[in-house]
Amino acid sequence: MIVDIPKTNNPRIVVIGGGFAGIQLTKMLKNEDVQIVMLDKNNFHTFIPLLYQVATAGLEPDSIAFPLRKIFKGQTNFLFRMAEVFNIKPEIKCVETSIGDITYDYLVIATGSKSNFYGLKDFQANAIPMKSLVEALNLRSFILQKFEKALLTNDVKEREHLMSVVVVGGGPTGVEIAGALAELKNHILANDYPELDTRKMQIHLIELLPRLMASMSNESSEKSQLFLKQLGVNIWLDTGVKSYDGLNVCLTSGKIIQAYTVIWSAGVMGATIPGVNGNTLLKGDRIKVDSFSKVAGYENIFAIGDVAGMISDKFPDGHPMLAPVAVQQGEHLAKNILNLIHKKELQPFVYKNPGAMATVGRNRAVVDLQYFKFQGMFAWFIWVFVHLMKLVSFRNRLVVFVNWVWNYFSYDRGIRLIIKPLGK
Ligand SMILES: Cc1cc2nc3c(=O)[nH]c(=O)nc-3n(C[C@H](O)[C@H](O)[C@H](O)COP(=O)(O)OP(=O)(O)OC[C@H]3O[C@@H](n4cnc5c(N)ncnc54)[C@H](O)[C@@H]3O)c2cc1C
């Protein structure tokens, strides 16, 4: 069944995904003679870099989510349909979705990424990923549920296992969540649960490589390790995970750590959609594109953001899966689609690296810019400012700012709600 979408005389660009890449592309085409049909399985955009703060009770979910229709209010060439896309049929220029088939002239795949468990089925079944708002909320409930359970047992070891958390993956996400958990332990849980000896809550961070945040500079890596140690996080470098039965995390070193909560932040892979030529998939399930974001083998299908693998001399494995890459690719592709429509020459994409940053608990962050690297309190202020400015709306900025100021001065995160029934 073809979904009845109003037809215009302008070419229809179907954009799958209202993430950083899809939003930027759509904004750039605001005043152009095209029809944009955005499809997303959610009706909101998620500011993923702050998910870990939702998971650790620092922010409300709706302060980092924004309705897609509202973002494009007043953009007359824009239509939104809430739909999950299951399949692409390039031969008839159509996508199959949960609401029916939708035709396109140009198709932009901007579906982002999903957790990659590297075939470790135990972890896929028992660990908690943190890739969406729902997962972040579940994680918050899960951790608090375990504390409620810990109150009910007199078995000292069992209590420790219920309170403890293992974070798998010491990239920026793992480091940020481990730091936030340590703050939660030190300032919140100790007060909320005076009957529990929360000093026994162990936070473990496990990293396969010899250093944390390998994508950042050595200085930032060393400093984040130091900051986490000061916060009481146990760091295991050069260590992989082998299995997890819901309690015992078996490490490649032979050590076994016991914890009922394991957070998976060890990697992501492209959130691809079947239908485009299978040969176009690269390592990490990213769709192979040329320097114009065009999917290999097609003239009118493009991929941008995390799901796209644009290989170049500078980026032999594709660009890093980061928001600035997605935003810049969205902006660039908008110009190239117009070039294509107006039969002009396409321009290759060149990434301008704005630097990278990560926070490690309150007051501490690490920042890598092209010519400067700095860590500590000043870096944390920069991190706070940049993240506030990147949020989509003034309302979101205000809510996040008020929450952060409150949390900072009161040492009290207000959102310690268990909103998922006790389970798993
Ligand atoms: C926990 C975490 C922390 C991060 N922190 C940072 C950070 O601090 N700084 C930074 O630069 N980057 C960070 N990143 C990476 C950053 O979030 C991504 O690079 C960025 O979101 C990619 O943008 P995108 O538009 O490609 O995809 P996304 O922002 O993921 O958007 C994809 C959209 O596609 C939709 N979608 C997916 N599949 C379908 C389908 N089949 N049908 C319909 N809709 C679909 C999704 O609902 C989503 O709205 C982090 C990532 C994670 C997981």
Q: pLDDT tens, 45-81?
A: 999 999 999 999 889 898 999 999 999 999 999 999 9
Average the pLDDT over each of 84-93, 341-350, 367-376 and give the range with the smallest value: 367-376
Q: Identity (one letter) of the amino acid at 370? A: Q
Beta-carbon-side half-sphere exposure of residue 339 (alpha carbons within 13 Å): 12
Closest to 304 (Cα-Cα) out of 279, 283, 281, 331: 331
Q: Say how far apart CA 289 and CA 303 lie, in whole Å.
A: 7
Going through 218-275 in order, the beta strands assigned E by DSSP cover 234-236, 241-244, 248-251, 256-258, 261-264, 268-270
CB distance 361 to 53 below 8 Å: no
Give mean pLDDT, residues 391-418: 81
Count of other CB atoms within 10 angstroms of residue 172: 24
- Which atom of ligand 1 is found nearest the CA of 177? 1
Q: If you measure from the C-alpha of residue 48 to the centroid of ligand 1, how many angstroms do you get, rounded to a whole number?
A: 6
Count of other CB atoms within 10 angstroms of residue 152: 9
Q: If you measure from the C-alpha of residue 308 to the centroid of ligand 1, how many angstroms do you get, rounded to a whole number?
A: 12
> Does residue 422 surpass a pLDDT of 60?
no
- Which residues lie with the beta carbon below 6 Å from any ligand 1 atom? 16-22, 39-42, 48-49, 51-52, 84-85, 110-112, 130-131, 172-173, 271, 273, 305-306, 321-324, 326
Give the per-residue pLDDT at 404.
86
Which class does domain 121-266 fall in?
alpha beta
Using most ligand atoms within 8 A of CB, pick from 310, 322, 360 the residue to mutate for ligand 1: 322
Give mean pLDDT, residues 372-399: 91
Extract the tokens encoding 313.
């001399």
- Which atom of ligand 1 is found nearest the CA of 307? 26
pLDDT in tens, 237-286: 999 999 999 999 999 999 999 999 999 999 999 999 999 877 788 989 99
Q: If you measure from the C-alpha of residue 271 to the centroid of ligand 1, how many angstroms do you get, rounded to a whole number?
A: 9
Q: If you measure from the C-alpha of residue 110 to the centroid of ligand 1, how many angstroms do you get, rounded to a whole number?
A: 9
> Does residue 335 surpass a pLDDT of 90?
yes
Give mean pLDDT, residues 125-130: 95
- Which atom of ligand 1 is found nearest the CA of 330? 25
Give the per-residue pLDDT at 421.
57
Reported confidence tier of residue 414, pLDDT bands at 50, 70, 90: low
Q: Domains of the chain: which residue ranges? A: 12-115+268-341, 121-266
Give the per-residue pLDDT at 286.
96
Give the per-residue pLDDT at 178.
97
CATH code for residues 12-115+268-341: 3.50.50.60
Give the per-residue pLDDT at 309.
96
CB distance 275 to 87 below 8 Å: yes
Give the per-residue pLDDT at 413.
65
Residue owning the nearest CA to atom 6 of ligand 1 = 49
Average pLDDT, the chain: 94
- Which atom of ligand 1 is found nearest the CA of 83? 43
The verdict on pTM exceeding 0.75 is yes
> Does residue 179 surpass a pLDDT of 90?
yes
Count of other CB atoms within 10 angstroms of residue 111: 27
Q: Say how far apart CA 152 and CA 118 lie, in whole Å.
A: 36
Q: Answer whether 12-115+268-341 and 121-266 agree in fold.
A: yes
Give the per-residue pLDDT at 240.
97
Question: Between the CA of residue 182 and those of 37, 42, 155, 198, 321, what are the distances in Å?
Answer: 43, 31, 23, 11, 26
Q: If you measure from the C-alpha of residue 45 to the centroid of ligand 1, how many angstroms do you get, rounded to a whole number?
A: 9
Q: What is the DSSP string of 315-367?
A: -TT-S-S-HHHHHHHHHHHHHHHHHHHTT------------EEEE-STT-EEE
